[in-house]
Amino acid sequence: MNKIDNLIKMANDISNFFNADPDKELAADGVAKHIMRGWEPRMRHDIINHYQQGGSGLSDLAKMAIAKLSEQAKV
Amino acid sequence: MSINKEQDFGTPASAASQTVALEIDGFTVTAPVGTSIMRAAASIGIDIPKLCATDSIEPFGSCRLCVVQIEGGRGMPASCTTPVAEGLKVCTQNPRLADVRRGIMELYISDHPLDCLTCSANGDCELQDMAGAVGLREVRYNPVETHLQAVKDESNPYFSFDPSKCIVCSRCVRACEETQGTFALTLDGRGFDSKVSPSQNQAFMDSECVSCGACVQACPTATLMEKSVIDHGQPEHAIVTTCAYCGVGCSFRAEMKGEQVIRMVPHKDGKANHGHSCVKGRFAFGYATHKDRITKPMIRASIKDAWQEVSWEEAINHAASEFNRIQAKYGKDSIGGITSSRCTNEETYLVQKLIRAGFGNNNVDTCARVCHSPTGYGLKQTFGESSGTQDFDSVMQSDVIMVIGANPTDGHPVFGSMMKKRLRQGAKLIVIDPREIDLVSNSPHIKADFHLKLRPSTNVAVINALAHVVITENLADDAFALERCDVASFEKWKTFIAQDYHSPENSEAITGVPAADIRAAARLYATANNGAIYYGLGVTEHSQGSTMVIGIANLAMATGNLGRDGVGVNPLRGQNNVQGSCDMGSFPHEYPGYRHVSDSDTRNLFQQAWQAELSPEPGLRIPNMFDAAMDKTFLGLYVEGEDIAQSDPDTQHVLAALRAMECVVVQDIFLNETAKFAHVFLPGASFLEKNGTFTNAERRISPVRKVMTPLAGYQDWEVTQMLSNAMGYPMNYSHPSEIMAEIASLTPSFQGVSYEKIDELGSIQWPCNEQTPSGTPIMHRETFMRDNGKGLFMLTEFVPTAERTNQKFPLILTTGRILSQYNVGAQTRRTANNAWHSEDRLEIHPHDAEDRGLKTGDWAGIKSRAGETVLRALISERVQPGVVYTTFHFPESGANVITTDNSDWATNCPEYKVTAVQVSKVSQPSEWQQEYHKFSENQLELLEQGMANG
């Protein structure tokens, strides 16, 4: 599996856990926090970059979360 | 220094709190109710002669050598079986007793070889001691028939059995039963024909014996004797240290002759093992001086080159200059390191310090990544601390024991024996495992009440179904949950778990476990006075490993099974220092004590102490390092004591990543598989050659003590220090105790830990601080460790693994361990333990085997989406149809060639336990195996060339 596919899979796997929360805003916060606290900056950069290019392959929740990370990265 | 033999009190201690006072030989003694007269006497220095009694097993009263007289009492009772009582007046020595004892000894000696001077037990023989104690001066009997010609059993590689020296005291038989719980030995025959018999008069190696050594330890003569003692004679001094095998962390006396280990004897005062051992810790220490040990540093420019032996200075400078070069060219994040669970806390701490402060990044990870990282995550989230909740002794208070994805009798055998003892006392057992482990029905006097034989990968569905029953049948301990846990999270979780789709009936199609069994097991656990959960890698090594750990924590909190003896959530850690290596900040996002690198207060603390600027960003995990290597952004790796080339999943990806790196530095005692891809080899020290500490699965910090000079000249912490200094980040420790002092000063849970205190107490369970100066055997007694003190329930949706069976890959491969081998086998494969397990085999159900025309011993080709390997088949009903199983102790097996890159969502712990495969009958090893064999042979030639040139 190439690097970006692996990152997409990782983001989707994380989202699958937090998706149990009926409050999707909370769930997206959980995913974003998990990525922020666990992923090395190059990995975060790559997934944000992928998201900004359309986020193909990312689940809806993963996209919500990475949108939040993308906003944080701008700050 | 001396051998300092441990005192034998004759019978076990009584746990009673009430005491009585009595008089023994005119001295007043106070002893707990239930204490034997023999033990009470020993406690004040009066040694009553004995042969069949020893304090590791219950009294038997057969030899009668320990008889005493009690004022006002009749006859001469055995002091080992007679309990103390208030006001007793006991006489242990008088002419009448002396006559009886001499008579007994005369009978014993009449059928015993008189070869004391050449006997291997000379100097350590209780029979000899007793002959002296009773004043035996002659043997008047001239028996017509004796046992003196009985034939020795030399079948066991580590000890011999010489029945001619046996006095039939039954200590070995009872040790096998009571201490080990295997019941391999019996007293066969009656009267003169009585003899100790392994199984049904079989040789030891043909019997059920697991070679734990309990019988050898218990034997009062030379009947059962370590072959190392027979070969080298009695040891002359002993040093207490800690075993370097599994996460039980047994305390051992290394009994020495000069710098040679003669034998490893389990330490009676060891709080993890209480004087018991397994075949690995007790006997399999020979690897430490194996001819394969590499004791000279080596370098080479390319892995195609021969190694070149160089001085320590040259090797260290070369490694440092290469790392500096790579960082200068590719940036400071282009290098990193891996710590080991086989190294000490102090060594691990130094490696992560070197990486964070010296390398200037957080690219540090550890082998816990591939085993218990989900434990760290799941228990930190729910309980607030990344550790198990109990001490091992807690299991003796459990009424219901749930074992999930663990095989304690193989993986953690000494604790397994303790658990078996509790089960024989009547505790109930629930096993959740796709495979029939020994505890299910293959251990004497033990039978699981429920074996929930689930399909691999469906753990979360099972734990949810159990929790569903607890909530919907009103079995929860609401008072506990409402008082001790975050109430909002509890209510949310209850709503989630009560949904009908979690019910056992609806889960059955997923898990394969009958709903009625799930319901009954849930009721049993939830209604127990004390319900305890023990789990292993069968929980963690899944794509939902962390979810399952959280699910276990939810269940324990919901039923109130936390915060006291007999309950808890207990991860059984695989390696000796998994807990410690995690505690010491080996993960890329956490400092020692599990504090996130982004936390500025913590980071400032370390920056100040280490005098270095530290990165606030998490570093790369091991699999991310491999990906980055393939991406040419991670090119230098320092690996201390790990063998990622063998132990990590998707071998071909790992090897490609290693080949892509420009400088791989391996510090190890052997040229392991990873070292075959290295450019610098720094010879490591075995656990016998270093000082430090290990932390076991119950958070117990135990001493590791140097018993011999490091073969390569340095302890591992010294090597890391040299590398750090060469890279320009100064370290100046003169002893590991100074490193521990630094750890304690920077880590709240270790605040009260010091070498002085470890020496004083023997071992310490963290947290150890001002509030708990002697440590903490049971955690979360009053509050949880989370910031608000409340346990957190989390939602655990079952998400099927991406690894699916289909027509092409119809079987699920799952992996595990075996008693005699350890992890990647680097240690145990270099011992006589190969006598039990000389190759990894593929267990396959008879139906699946028949479909494929496979018989035991045939080559079985195993093909997954990741690769292909070949193992010998072993037909077994332990696995269910559709599931195959193997171990991973031999590199040539290539078990990880077929495992995939699926991993736990939270931690990237690989999904070793679930790989879809096809199995077929083949005629030779796989192409990969053949190629790897050639590569490996070539690397050994390059090693030999280097050594010859050196």
ipTM of the shown complex:
0.97
Q: How far is CA B112 from CA B131, B139, B221, B501, B552, in A?
A: 12, 11, 10, 71, 57
Question: What three-state secondary structure class fits B467?
Answer: helix
Bridge partners for B404 per DSSP: B432, B535
Q: Using CB atoms within 10 A of its CB, is residue B645 exposed (0-12), middle (13-18) or buried (19+)?
A: buried
Dihedral sign for Cα B481, B487, B493, B494, please.
Answer: positive
Chain B closest-CA separation from residue A41 CA (Å): 7
What pLDDT is attached to residue B132?
96
Q: What is the DSSP letter of B160?
A: E
Rounded (5°) CA angle B518-B522-B526: 180
CB neighbour list of residue B847: distance below 8 Å, 6 or more residues apart = B881
What pLDDT is attached to residue B404?
98
* R_g over Cα of chain B: 29
Cα–Cα distance, A59 to B308 (Å, whole number) = 52
| Percentage, residues of chain B above pLDDT 70 | 100
Q: Nearest to residue B821, comparing CAs of B410, B443, B264, B439?
A: B410
Least confident segment among B555-564, B774-783, B885-894: B885-894
Rounded (5°) CA angle B388-B392-B398: 95
| Percentage, residues of chain B above pLDDT 90 | 94
Contact of A34 with chain B, judged by CB distance below 8 Å, is answered with: yes
Please give the order of strands across the beta sheet that includes B27-32.
B27-32, B19-24, B89-91, B69-70
CB contact under 8 A, B795 and A37: no
Q: Which residues of B70-108 are buried (b: 16+ CB within 10 A; e: fewer)?
A: beeeeebbbbbbbbbeeebebbbeeeebeeebbebbbeb
CB contact under 8 A, A14 and B588: no
Residue from B795, B899, B902, B907 to probe the interface with A (highest A Cβ count within 10 Å): B795
Q: Considering only CB atoms, which chain A residues are within 8 Å of B633?
A: 42
Tokens of B857: 């011993």
Q: What is the mean pLDDT of residues B116-138?
A: 95
Tell me the residue type at B346: E
The H-or-E segment that residue B680 falls in is strand B680-683
Q: What is the DSSP letter of B846?
A: H
Question: What three-state secondary structure class fits B585?
Answer: coil
C-alpha neighbours within 13 Å on the C-beta side of residue B447: 2
Q: Using CB atoms within 10 A of its CB, is residue B531 exposed (0-12), middle (13-18) or buried (19+)?
A: buried
CB contact under 8 A, B624 and A43: yes
Contact of A24 with chain B, judged by CB distance below 8 Å, is answered with: no
What pLDDT is attached to residue B647?
87
What pLDDT is attached to residue B8?
96
Q: Model confidence over B379-415: pLDDT tens digits?
A: 999 999 999 999 999 999 999 999 999 999 999 999 9
Domain interval for residue A68: 3-74
Cα–Cα distance, B64 to B75 (Å, whole number) = 12
Cα–Cα distance, B366 to B373 (Å, whole number) = 9
pLDDT at B1 over 80: no
Alpha helices per DSSP H over B648-715: 651-660
What pLDDT is attached to residue B661?
98
Question: What three-state secondary structure class fits B508?
Answer: helix
Rounded to the nearest 10°, the torsion over CA A26, A32, A38, A43 is 160
Which residues of B, range 561-620, sit inside 8 Å of A by Cβ? Answer: 588-589, 596, 598, 617-620
Contact of A20 with chain B, judged by CB distance below 8 Å, is answered with: yes
CB contact under 8 A, A3 and B631: yes
Cβ-contact B245, B188 below 8 angstroms: no
Domains and CATH numbers, chain B: 19-134 (3.10.20.740), 159-289 (3.30.70.20), 298-370+577-735 (3.40.50.740), 373-571 (3.40.228.10), 811-935 (2.40.40.20)
Beta strands in B754-897 (DSSP E): 764-765, 811-816, 841-844, 859-864, 868-875, 883-887
Cα–Cα distance, B832 to B677 (Å, whole number) = 28
Residue from B542, B627, B652, B902 to probe the interface with A (highest A Cβ count within 10 Å): B627
Task: B227-230: list long-range contacts, CB under 8 Å, 24+ apart.
Answer: B227/B157, B227/B158, B227/B159, B227/B160, B228/B158, B228/B262, B228/B263, B229/B120, B229/B121, B229/B262, B229/B263, B230/B120, B230/B160
Q: Count how many pairs of residues, chain A against chain B, have C-beta atoms within 8 Å.
A: 56
pLDDT at A74 over 90: no
Q: What is the DSSP letter of B224?
A: E
Chain A closest-CA separation from residue B595 CA (Å): 11
Q: Model confidence over B786-817: pLDDT tens digits?
A: 999 999 999 999 999 999 999 999 999 998 88
Alpha helices per DSSP H over B473-560: 478-484, 487-497, 504-511, 515-526, 537-540, 545-558
Tell me the residue type at A33: K
Least confident segment among B216-220, B418-422, B812-816: B812-816
Tokens of B870: 């070949």
pLDDT at B574 over 90: no
Tokens of B495: 């709503």
The H-or-E segment that residue B159 falls in is strand B159-161
Q: Nearest to residue B686, comparing CAs of B324, B176, B343?
A: B343
Q: What is the DSSP letter of B748?
A: G
pLDDT category of residue B948 using cuts at 50, 70 and 90: confident
What pLDDT is attached to residue A75?
65
Cα–Cα distance, B471 to B473 (Å, whole number) = 6
Q: What is the mean pLDDT of residues B64-93?
A: 97
Chain B closest-CA separation from residue A1 CA (Å): 8
pLDDT at B278 over 80: yes
pLDDT mean across residues, chain B: 96
pLDDT at B27 over 90: yes
Least confident segment among B290-304, B363-377, B501-515: B363-377
CB contact under 8 A, B598 and A39: no
CB neighbour list of residue B821: distance below 8 Å, 6 or more residues apart = B828, B829, B833, B837, B887, B889
Cα–Cα distance, B95 to B98 (Å, whole number) = 5
pLDDT category of residue B588 using cuts at 50, 70 and 90: very high
pLDDT at B706 over 80: yes
Cβ-contact B648, B910 below 8 angstroms: yes
What pLDDT is attached to residue B649?
87
pLDDT category of residue B520 using cuts at 50, 70 and 90: very high
Cβ-contact B272, B700 below 8 angstroms: yes
The domain tally of chain A equals: 1
pLDDT category of residue B140 using cuts at 50, 70 and 90: very high
Contact of A38 with chain B, judged by CB distance below 8 Å, is answered with: yes
Cα–Cα distance, B341 to B329 (Å, whole number) = 32
Q: Using CB atoms within 10 A of its CB, is residue B123 exposed (0-12), middle (13-18) or buried (19+)?
A: middle
